[in-house]
Structure 1
Amino acid sequence: MSQTTFDVALCQYAFGSVKTIDAFWERITGLFERCGPADMYILPELIGYDVAMSNSREEYQLRSSEIEEFHDKLAGEASDRDAIIVGGSYRVSDEGELYNRAPIALPDGSLRTYTKQRPVPAEREDGVASGSHGGPIFEHNGVSAGVLICYDAEFPDVVRDVVERGAEVIALPSLTGSVAGYQRVSRCSAARAVENQAYVLQVPLVGTHPHGQKCGTGRASCFAPCDDIAGPDGTRLTLPADEHAVGVQRLDVDLIRKSRSSASVRPFSDRLVFE
């Protein structure tokens, strides 16, 4: 009997004060090379800050030309690696609105974007608007993967939406500037994995930017359900805190499917019992 597995590469990026997209991309591909082959690579939320802050950019936005170049590089790399690449996120101005947007490159060389639905209060104070569409779902090698961003994980309905549309694996780029913020997003990610019987992969931006305007803390983690099918320990992988680091986890997706149908507790479907 064949087993459905899905290799995920968690690429925890530390600020490096790069001034060009080429230098930025060199640091990113260095992480990819350290990971080796995978079905999906995940970079952190607002990784684009590294370029924008180094160039003292207003509102820390990437220019349209930089975004286009970044997208082209992501798409080419996804095609070469036959993988989904969740390219973290960046700030962008679009038709007069400021957004926090994630590029997702696909194995066929195409690219889609997702706009964060739940900006934190500090983002909203900066003028960042909410995205109006749910997280996208992508099929690759027999597995359905969804994408959300950081604070989205603190809203069960936002996560449930992508799961109800088929997500078995959820990529969650994040940026948390305090231990409290990291713990909040991490604990909510673990809770979303349990209640949806899905894998949730949180990958933070870490370190302090050399210019001092921004910092991030945390450690990338892979969370799973805790039950008699998926196993008692819901944490599959955790990276060293606050380091430029990578880790690859092989996910047994058949376990998730069996957990949802046969575990002794089934919150994914039992929610309907109580409605």
Structure 2
Amino acid sequence: MTDTLDVAAVQFEARALSGPEDFAAQVDAALDAAAGARLVVFPELMTTGFGTLAAGWRGRDLAAYFAEVAEHTDLYLEVFGAAARARDQVVLAGSHLVAAPGGFLNVAHLFHPDGRVVRHEKTLLFPAERQWRSIEGERLTTAEVDGVTVGFATCYEAEIPEVTTALARRGAEVLLVPSATFTEAGFHRVRHCAAARCIENQVYAVHASTFSTGLEPLVQTWARSSVLGPCDAGFPPDGILAEAKENVPDVITARLDLALLQENRRSGAAPTVLDRARRADLFASWG
């Protein structure tokens, strides 16, 4: 296992596209800015611009619009698969809507340079997602990046403590939190919850968010990507290792010190992981 992991969080603009090559150029520009990072994290629903490739897209309802987005899954897989191989980077390509029986799955894809792809189907949908005929996945997901265990917590999943508690118990040291939020309040819910998950599980989180300025029929989304850790000795006092500017294209990078994280779990001022396990019987008795 590596002692450090260099990561990047991409703040990606969902916008009208002139063609498939326009999307590929957006991705390339972000990855150019993330050069040097071993793991690059793009945000949730970063491919919503695909819906603008259809004629008459402005007049479509949400379900029809997202059906068009799902039609471009092959393009999405091709762009990111090629990028991971060419750049020798591990890339979480945010999430993309994939057609499934009965609707769409919101699927995060982690692309490895050797061609492997790890999929995570979002298990907890924000209520608005159901308007798009989205359906929920049934499995939590972890993966390995250079011997470091990462766990997937897509947007609303980060707001549910049980999700990241289960991931941490499976060994996750870094949470991958791609998000897309319609309001500033929604953004802060995800951001504050990701920060809380870092404290209660003594982990890092890479929170990458999508922004747009009203890509009708979609609503505006709000973003400020960040890389977060515990609030304890050796980490920034506020737990923020890096932070993007609000609602502009941006890429931020940080070096995650895994040895420091393990030391924090052994001797940190707030031994939350140990104390949660130590008082598990008490919590269970109040269930």
Contact 1:239 1:247 in 2 (8 A): yes
1:104 Cα deviation from its structure 2 partner: 1.4
Q: Which amino acid aligns with 2:240?
A: T
* Residue in structure 2 matched with residue 127 of structure 1 by the alignment: 133
**Unaligned stretches of 5+ residues in structure 2:** 281-287
Aligned residues: 273
Bigger mean CA deviation after superposition, 220-229 or 154-163: 220-229
For 1:11-37, what per-residue CA distance to the aligned partner results, in whole angstroms no more than 9, with x for missing partners? 101123114332211101111102212
Bigger mean CA deviation after superposition, 20-29 or 172-181: 20-29
* Residue in structure 2 matched with residue 88 of structure 1 by the alignment: 94
Contact 1:139 1:145 in 2 (8 A): yes
Instruction: Tell me whether 1:116 sits opposite 2:122 in the alignment.
Output: yes
How many Å separate the matches in 1 of 2:88 and 2:157? Answer: 28
1:243 Cα deviation from its structure 2 partner: 0.2
Q: 1:223-262 alignment to 2 at 5 Å?
A: 223-262=228-267
* Residue in structure 2 matched with residue 31 of structure 1 by the alignment: 30
Bigger mean CA deviation after superposition, 242-251 or 209-218: 209-218
How many Å separate the matches in 2 of 1:79 and 1:272? Answer: 41
Instruction: Tell me whether 1:196 sits opposite 2:201 in the alignment.
Output: yes
Q: Which amino acid aligns with 2:126?
A: V
For 1:129-181, what per-residue CA distance to the aligned partner results, in whole angstroms no more than 9, with x for missing partners? 111010x2222223222222100001001111111111111111100111110
How many Å separate the matches in 2 of 1:49 and 1:42? Answer: 17
How many Å separate the matches in 1 of 2:197 and 2:79? Answer: 32
Seen in structure 2, the aligned counterparts of structure 1 residues 44 and 61 have a Cα distance that, compared at 3 Å, is: farther
1:87 Cα deviation from its structure 2 partner: 0.6
How many Å separate the matches in 2 of 1:241 and 1:43? Answer: 16
Among 137, 147, 153, which residue is 1:148 paired with? 153
**Unaligned stretches of 5+ residues in structure 1:** none
* Residue in structure 1 matched with residue 7 of structure 2 by the alignment: 8
Contact 2:154 2:177 in 1 (8 A): yes
Q: Which amino acid aligns with 2:103?
A: E
Bigger mean CA deviation after superposition, 2-11 or 82-91: 2-11
TM-score, normalised with respect to structure 2 = 0.89
1:62 Cα deviation from its structure 2 partner: 4.8
How many Å separate the matches in 2 of 1:175 and 1:61? Answer: 18
* Residue in structure 2 matched with residue 74 of structure 1 by the alignment: 80
Seen in structure 2, the aligned counterparts of structure 1 residues 62 and 85 have a Cα distance that, compared at 3 Å, is: farther
1:67 Cα deviation from its structure 2 partner: 1.0
TM-score, normalised with respect to structure 1 = 0.92
Does the residue aligned with 2:242 lie in a helix, a strand or coil? strand
1:54 Cα deviation from its structure 2 partner: 4.5
Q: Which runs of 4+ in 1 moved over 3 A?
A: 61-65, 209-212
Contact 2:8 2:39 in 1 (8 A): yes
Instruction: Tell me whether 1:103 sits opposite 2:109 in the alignment.
Output: yes
* Residue in structure 2 matched with residue 162 of structure 1 by the alignment: 167
Q: Which amino acid aligns with 1:20?
A: G
Does the residue aligned with 1:101 lie in a helix, a strand or coil? strand
Among 180, 184, 207, which residue is 1:179 paired with? 184
Contact 1:148 1:172 in 2 (8 A): yes
How many Å separate the matches in 1 of 2:247 and 2:145? Answer: 30
1:72 Cα deviation from its structure 2 partner: 2.3
Does the residue aligned with 1:38 lie in a helix, a strand or coil? coil
